[in-house]
Amino acid sequence: MAGQFEAIPGGGAAVALDEVEISILRSLAVQLLELIGPGEEPAQGEDPLASLFTEGPSEPPADPALARLFPDAYGDDDDELRGYSSEFRRFTENDLRSRKREDGVAMVRSLDALVSAGEGGAVLKLTPDDCRHWLGALNDLRLTIGTRLEVSDEDESGELYRLPDSDPRKPMVMAYLWLGALQETLVETLMP
């Protein structure tokens, strides 16, 4: 089980993590939450359904990683499509941010529960609902790191995979690959 998720009886998945892995995952998830930003809580006495009709931003984020997490719906090839993307963003980005925030918080909480439960490494056991949150958070972490590393679909040379240990990008490349392996094994455990 070390380093990869395995299915557990009754649904869900489990993975053995050591102290360092727990710390790295938690740190990355917290950084992701900081990047996404805080949510807006309804004011006391405000109708909770009002948040469903709150308009979000109409322009894409300037940060490339956020732009990757919150992409344009229709591209930006012409003015008409940009207008549709703007409208789509206004009515969907707040919900998308909220879901991404929930996924990150669920990851942090499950890792915190591991740390408080014992010394050193532990086996993380996820319910099917936890798995969904973890898949979302792992995906968002990989998208963010991949954007920062400028990984593209066209990069088939594997240049990043052959970086010397002295390259300052090496730790992030290793994290990117590790998160990909975790994500892949989690997906495999959930497939029938």
pLDDT digits (tens, 9 = 90+) for 120-158: 678 999 999 999 999 999 999 999 999 999 887 666 557
pLDDT-derived band at 59 (thresholds 50, 70, 90) equals: confident
Burial of 124 (0-12, 13-18, 19+ CB in 10 A): buried
Which DSSP category does 43 fall into? P
Place of tokens 């997906």: 187
Q: Which helix (H) or strand (E) holds 30?
A: helix 19-36
Query: Which pTM was predicted?
Result: 0.85
User: Where are the strands (E) in 89-172, listed by range?
Assistant: 122-126
Q: pLDDT for 88-122, tens place per residue?
A: 888 888 899 999 999 999 999 999 998 766 666 78
Q: How far apart are CA 145 and CA 186, in angstroms?
A: 19
* Three-class DSSP category at 33: helix
